[in-house]
Amino acid sequence: MDSDQVHQRWRLARRDELAGPNSWLGLIGLFWLEPGLNPVGSAEGSTVLLPAGPPHLGDLCWQGDKLFWLPEEGAEIELQTDLNGQPSTVDYKNWAFFCC
């Protein structure tokens, strides 16, 4: 494989990476959390405001150096942030979010 082919493969792989659902180009919102409960949903006043979907999907709870996902339905989950490695991803239908 010559250098042009290597470069073309890299460009195609990079384009696919950048256009992926969890990429910077796929980002539709950036929300700063406050200590305590941070509502996630489509309701006005949600800390993490979704463009559509349920008014209240759940809460992100920031306690000290820990972050928890408290879904409206389901069990509480402690989330991993990017401070300690790869962040956890929370998926709901065609949305996903992670905490940096």
pLDDT tens sequence across 29-88: 788 999 999 999 999 999 999 888 899 999 999 999 899 999 998 899 999 887 777 888
Whole-prediction pTM value?
0.74
Residue 28 confidence (pLDDT) above 80: no
Domain spans, the chain? 1-29, 31-98
Burial of 36 (0-12, 13-18, 19+ CB in 10 A): exposed
pLDDT of residue 100: 66
